[in-house]
Amino acid sequence: MKKLEQLYEGKAKKVFQTDDPACLIVEYKDDATAFNGQKKGTILGKGAINNRMTNLLMQMLEHRGVPTHFVQELNERETVVKKVTIVPLEVIVRNISAGHFAQNYGVEEGIVFEEPTIEFSYKNDDLGDPLINSYHAKALKLATQAEIDTIVRLAFQINEALKEFFLAVGITLVDFKLEFGRLEDGTIVLADEISPDTCRLWDKETGEKLDKDRFRRDLGNVEGAYQEVMKRLTGSQP
């Protein structure tokens, strides 16, 4: 597949056109941002880890009946994906209180919920990705009720699969962000990435943070945490 012109560059990835109109190439970067782009830095090797981890997890989810945009991994930083129109909703699934949930509602981190929660943010950097509900999403014509129902169903299905997968290697899935896209025929599929950039991952025994919170909170050893997750999932260094 031939890589053509760059279509887009975001905080963590570049997207390129290909000679197949139904496919794009995504290239993962080492750039890191937090707090809606206010904090910027670099996490060495992050791009390669997030690319490979995302592809590993998306293939696992495909086997469990979750449709994704994954097509083929080209190299350590580049992957072919199906061309989608991103639904401008960030979908956050939470199993344990942390991050914005703890801050917004005045509770401590680490409270295990009786059942997972789900919330939507309007994917709009200029507005600071505000929290919205499904009625807002429909009013803004971001998604139809049928699409929202599909996204919620898939998000909880993904949560169960990821919780089990991470727990098997001694990692607790605290919460995570998903993005979905529409194929040309309107089918909703999982898009974007699943990585320590988009998931809160804590060591099951020690509670040590193994995700982007190490960068957000200046906890140090950010690269080591990403490498540790990858090592546990694959049994080898990235």
**Token pair for 135:** 């009625």
Lowest mean pLDDT among 26-40, 67-81, 87-101, 140-154: 26-40
pLDDT value at residue 236: 57
The reply to whether 237 falls in a domain is: no
pLDDT value at residue 98: 96
The reply to whether 194 falls in a domain is: yes
To the nearest 10 degrees (0 to 180), the angle between helices 46-63 and 145-167 is 110
Q: Are 89 and 78 within one domain?
A: no
**CATH at 165:** 3.30.470.20
Last residue of a domain, one of 23, 58, 82: 82
Q: Are 62 and 133 within one domain?
A: no
Mean pLDDT of 167-189: 98
pLDDT value at residue 238: 46
- Do 22 and 82 meet the contact criterion of CB atoms below 8 Å apart? yes
Place of tokens 């962000």: 177
Between 1 and 184, the more confident residue is 184
Q: Are 89 and 74 within one domain?
A: no
The reply to whether 126 falls in a domain is: yes
What is the pLDDT confidence band of residue 94, given thresholds at 50, 70 and 90? very high
pLDDT in tens, 45-85: 999 999 999 999 999 999 999 999 999 999 999 999 999 99
What is the pLDDT confidence band of residue 11, given thresholds at 50, 70 and 90? confident
Domain with 121 in it: 85-221
* Distance separating alpha carbons of residues 189 and 133, to the nearest angstrom: 20
Q: Are 93 and 47 within one domain?
A: no
